[in-house]
A and B are shown apart, each in its own frame.
Chain A
């Protein structure tokens, strides 16, 4: 079946540091999104990125569909970046979005 694997599962950063989160998926991609779940549980979509590279402020994402992975970059991290980052994936011909188990990020001052 469809597999979506995220790494690392946990990450602790000093404020100001940079980080890279990874999402591997098992098949060709129809939809790939990155979400941030804040400490209050709200899921915010960060990027819709089935291929290519996008940037939004301190965050950027790259998906290499042919190699079946996506990366989320966080630069100059802030304490407000803390939370869980999820990638969600659907394969070709499917709209069922499958979520990875997430990366729990803690940014300490």
Chain B
């Protein structure tokens, strides 16, 4: 597709369950980010993928959070044993080459709104 696509748009889950959030980046973009945004707050960095390099996981808040990027394209963010404080909008962005320069503008998906009840 033309833009970054995230699914599902909304997810309601019970406390303690595992959830998987999906991100389809713009075709050809080598960089992919996950962020979390709580209501009325800024964006909290979670994880960054760049090509085949080891991901930067420094923003993951606990070992319940993990992410994969298969084949350098689609990414999945997994939250195990969800807690109420995990409720937030999870945003994915991708970046690629623009005018011969790598990693310039980030393009965001519409986000997944996660509610843990």
Chain A interface (Cβ < 8 Å from any Cβ of B): 31, 33, 35, 41-45, 48, 86, 88, 95-102
Contacts and interface: CB of A to CB of B under 8 A. Distances in A.
Contacts of B98: 48
Contact of A95 (B31, B43, B105, B110): B31
A95 B50 contact: yes
Q: Is the interface of B mostly helix, strand, loop or mixed?
A: strand
A41 B42 contact: no
A45 B105 contact: yes
Contacts of A48: 98, 104-105
B104 A98 contact: no
B93 to A, nearest CB: 8
A96 B103 contact: no
B117 interface: no
A5 B105 CA distance: 20
Contacts of A86: 42-43
Contacts of B12: none
B42 A97 contact: no
B25 interface: no
10 contacts: A33-B106, A42-B110, A43-B93, A44-B108, A45-B105, A48-B105, A95-B50, A95-B103, A96-B59, A99-B42
